[in-house]
Amino acid sequence: MPDKRVASYDEALAGLDDGMTVMIGGFGDAGVPFGLVEAVLDTAAHDLTLVCNNAGTGERGIAALLKAGRVRRIVCSYPRSSGSHVFDALYKAGRIELELVPQGTLVERIRCAGAGLGGFYSPVGAGTDLAAGKEVRDIDGRAHVLERPLGADFALIAAARADTWGNLVYARAARNFGPVMATAARVVVAEVREIVAPGTLDPECVVTPGIFVDRVVMAEARS
């Protein structure tokens, strides 16, 4: 397996371009690769579609991308939180598109893309506004909604440790969307706090096998 390390956020985001779809890991702040996300500001990429559970709080991370006008559309389950004023203002002004997806359906659609499947039937959302425009089918007497795979050009995720092959382990509940997003993007970039040699991580405890990861970058304080 090739060495996946890159020396800078610059290299980590090489190829990121206008109009691309970018997955960003995290639930609340836990698992958001803040350094990588804010480094998107140093690229020229505009008109991005973000796929992430939340829409950022304060002025950091996802909120910083929104504030800088880099994002045209966001696919998420829970955009509003205390502190999501950047998103809230853009939404009110009609300056951002929102595709709202139930959280479990969001992660399952990402998995569906990563697992090479064409779609799945879920009972979640049947009989609600979020099934509008979707195929609904009765399966064993219960209404199910046809959900489609959701892939991306880039996935930006945070992990606790990587080896040079890109095998990853996570920190507690910061795991959340990371392992699934890692399966579903053309270019998967992991921001980590420590990089070790292959064979250091316990093979029974690797959560994301390196085969899914394209680039590993050390987290650094943003200047």
Partner 1 sequence: MNAVAIPGRLSRRQIAWRAARDFPRGACVNLGIGIPTLAADYITPDQDIVLHSENGILGLGPAPAPEAADPNLINATKQPITLIPGGCFFDSALSFAMIRGGHIDVALLGALEVAETGDLANWRTNDDRYAPGVGGAMDLAVGARHIRVAMEHVTRDGRPRLRRRCSYPLTAPGVVARIYTDLAVIEVDERGFVAREIISGLGLDDLVRLSDAPIIPADDCRVLEVPALSG
- Shortest Å, Cβ 93 to a second copy: 34
Give, as ranges, the residues between 93 and 152 that touch partner 1 (CB under 8 A): 98, 100-105, 107-108, 110-111, 113-117, 122-130
- Shortest Å, Cβ 22 to partner 1: 18
- Shortest Å, Cβ 134 to partner 1: 13
Q: Does residue 65 bind partner 1 (CB under 8 A)? A: no
Q: Does residue 122 bind a second copy (CB under 8 A)? A: yes
- Say how far apart CA 145 and CA 170 lie, in whole Å: 32
Task: State how far the alpha carbon of 92 is from the alpha carbons of 54, 82, 185, in Å.
Answer: 17, 16, 30
- Say how far apart CA 110 and CA 148 lie, in whole Å: 9
Phi and psi angles of residue 117, each rounded to the nearest 5 degrees, phi first: -100, 160
- Shortest Å, Cβ 43 to partner 1: 26
Q: Does residue 193 bind a second copy (CB under 8 A)? A: no
- Say how far apart CA 80 and CA 93 lie, in whole Å: 15
Beta carbon nearer to partner 1, 22 or 86: 86
Non-local (6+) Cβ contacts of 109 within 8 A are 101, 147, 148, 149, 150
The residues binding a second copy (CB under 8 A) are: 108, 112, 115-123, 137, 139-140, 142, 144, 169-170, 172, 202-205, 207
